[in-house]
């Protein structure tokens, strides 16, 4: 089709196939009332003409688009990418398309993208971010069904939430290190968001139960360098629980560059079980979040709300510990 030629319409398809416009519409929608042979012929004619059905416009006319929106803080974050994969898998099973908005880890961009997604008339939205205020999420939920993935500081009123059990995961990490015989365990933190705060709090509680001192070091305050310097002393830390795999992998890299033996001199546990945990050497011991399962559960909840269920629920999925090569008994 030349650039200046108008796009073919359903009328063009009907004329070329020698059938009525309504029969073409039935065939393209996959509705009953059209024989397999006729449907195949109509679809072949539509393909030859370059006809593309406007699914969004047709859905808006019926009040449903069969498309859901997904708003993500940071697509470069492996955790977010895996959650989105789970959402798309469940949506595909239900015959739904997805529209993805990327907030670039900036609250103002996230808010703008959320409005844009809602303006498309999607059937519902899943927000994979804890950066939006509860008020913004609640307002959006008055326009379309909305489900949030993550841990908000404040629970929105009309929004269902799916999250990982951050406290349980931190407890698993500390139980593992304590069972190996570590007693000087520090926490290396890089985020002050709700999920990270929950992990940090659980670390402190686990150390208190073990009657051990708790020490949190912050990456943005030179915590990594301080940790590595202290690890080379007789009374320095022998293990570190990092707030996420990115922080843990960076610590592993810096430790090896500094000539520190991991795990003989310093054991490291991360959180997420992101792809990087399997790529570094030695492989990273980490708390595994069921990321794709979280995405699928979020999509299931959203589909239920789209179908009329107005109950607001919070679903918490359990993490597990994956032991690899960065942890061992202290020397």
Domain boundaries, given as residue ranges, for the chain:
2-53, 64-164+291-317, 166-289
**What does the mean pLDDT of the chain come to?**
90
As a whole number, mean pLDDT of residues 199-205 equals 97
**HEC string of the chain?**
CCCCCCCCCHHHHHHHHCCCHHHHHHHHHCCCCCCHHHHHHHHHHHHHHCCCCCHHHHHHHHCCCCEEEEEECCCCCHHHHHHHHHHHHHHHHCCCEEEEEECCCCHHHHHHHHHHHHHCCCCCEEEECCCCCHHHHHHHHCCCCEEEECCCCCCCCCCEEEEECHHHHHHHHHHHHHHCCCCCEEEEECCCCHHHHHHHHHHHHHHHHCCCCCEEEEHHHCHHHHHHHHHCCCCCCCEEEECCHHHHHHHHHHHHHCCCCCCCCCEEEEEECCHHHHHCCCCCEEEECCHHHHHHHHHHHHHHHHCCCCCCCEEEECCEEECCCCCCCCC
CATH of domain 2-53: 1.10.260.40
Decide if pLDDT at 58 tops 60.
no
As a whole number, mean pLDDT of residues 15-29 equals 85
As a whole number, mean pLDDT of residues 288-305 equals 95
Q: Which of 9-13, 78-82, 294-298 has the highest mean pLDDT?
A: 294-298
What are the Cα distances from residue 209, in Å, to 166, 175, 202?
Answer: 18, 11, 11
Q: Do domains 2-53 and 64-164+291-317 have the same CATH topology?
A: no
- Greater confidence, 241 or 58? 241
| 217 neighbors 190 (Cβ within 8 angstroms) | no
Would you state the pLDDT for residue 21? Answer: 87
Express as a percent the part of the chain with pLDDT over 70.
94
Decide if pLDDT at 150 tops 60.
yes
Would you state the pLDDT for residue 53? Answer: 65
Question: Domain 64-164+291-317 class?
Answer: alpha beta
CATH architecture of 166-289: 3-Layer(aba) Sandwich (3.40)
As a whole number, mean pLDDT of residues 137-148 equals 92
- Greater confidence, 174 or 35? 174
As a whole number, mean pLDDT of residues 30-54 equals 80
Would you state the pLDDT for residue 56? Answer: 52
pLDDT digits (tens, 9 = 90+) for 216-269: 999 999 999 999 999 978 899 999 999 999 999 999 999 999 999 999 999 999
Q: Model confidence at 1, in pLDDT bands (50, 70, 90)? A: very low
pLDDT digits (tens, 9 = 90+) for 159-187: 999 999 999 999 999 999 999 999 999 99
């Amino acid at each position: 089709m030349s650039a200046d030629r108008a796009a073919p319409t359903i009328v063009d398809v009907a004329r070329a196939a020698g059938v009525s416009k309504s029969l073409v519409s039935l065939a393209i929608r996959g509705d009953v009332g059209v024989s397999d042979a006729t449907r195949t012929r109509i679809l072949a004619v539509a393909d030859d003409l370059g006809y593309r059905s406007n699914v969004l416009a047709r859905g808006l006319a019926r009040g449903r688009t069969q498309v859901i929106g997904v708003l993500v803080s940071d697509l470069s974050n492996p955790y977010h990418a895996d959650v989105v994969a789970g959402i798309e898998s469940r949506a595909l099973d239900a015959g739904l398309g997805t529209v993805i908005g990327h907030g670039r880890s900036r609250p103002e961009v996230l808010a703008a993208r959320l409005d844009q997604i809602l303006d498309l008339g999607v059937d519902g939205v899943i927000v994979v971010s804890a950066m939006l205020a509860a008020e913004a999420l609640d307002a959006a939920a008055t326009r379309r069904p909305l489900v949030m993935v993550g841990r908000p500081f404040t629970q929105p009123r009309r929004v269902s939430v799916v999250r990982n059990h951050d406290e349980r995961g931190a407890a698993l990490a500390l139980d593992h290190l304590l069972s190996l015989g570590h007693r000087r365990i520090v926490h290396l933190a890089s985020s002050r968001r709700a999920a990270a705060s929950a992990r940090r709090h659980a670390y402190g509680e686990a150390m208190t139960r073990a009657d051990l001192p708790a020490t949190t070091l912050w990456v943005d305050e030179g915590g990594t360098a301080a940790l590595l310097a202290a690890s080379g002393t007789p009374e320095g830390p022998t293990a570190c629980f990092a707030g996420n795999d990115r922080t843990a992998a960076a610590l592993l890299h810096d430790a090896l560059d500094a000539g520190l033996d991991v795990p003989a001199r310093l054991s490291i546990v991360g959180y997420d079980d992101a792809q990087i945990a399997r790529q570094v050497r030695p492989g990273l011991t980490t708390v595994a979040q069921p990321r794709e399962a979280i995405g699928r559960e979020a999509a299931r909840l959203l589909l239920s709300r789209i179908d009329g269920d107005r109950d607001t629920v919070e679903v918490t999925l359990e993490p597990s510990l994956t032991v690899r090569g960065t942890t061992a008994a202290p020397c």
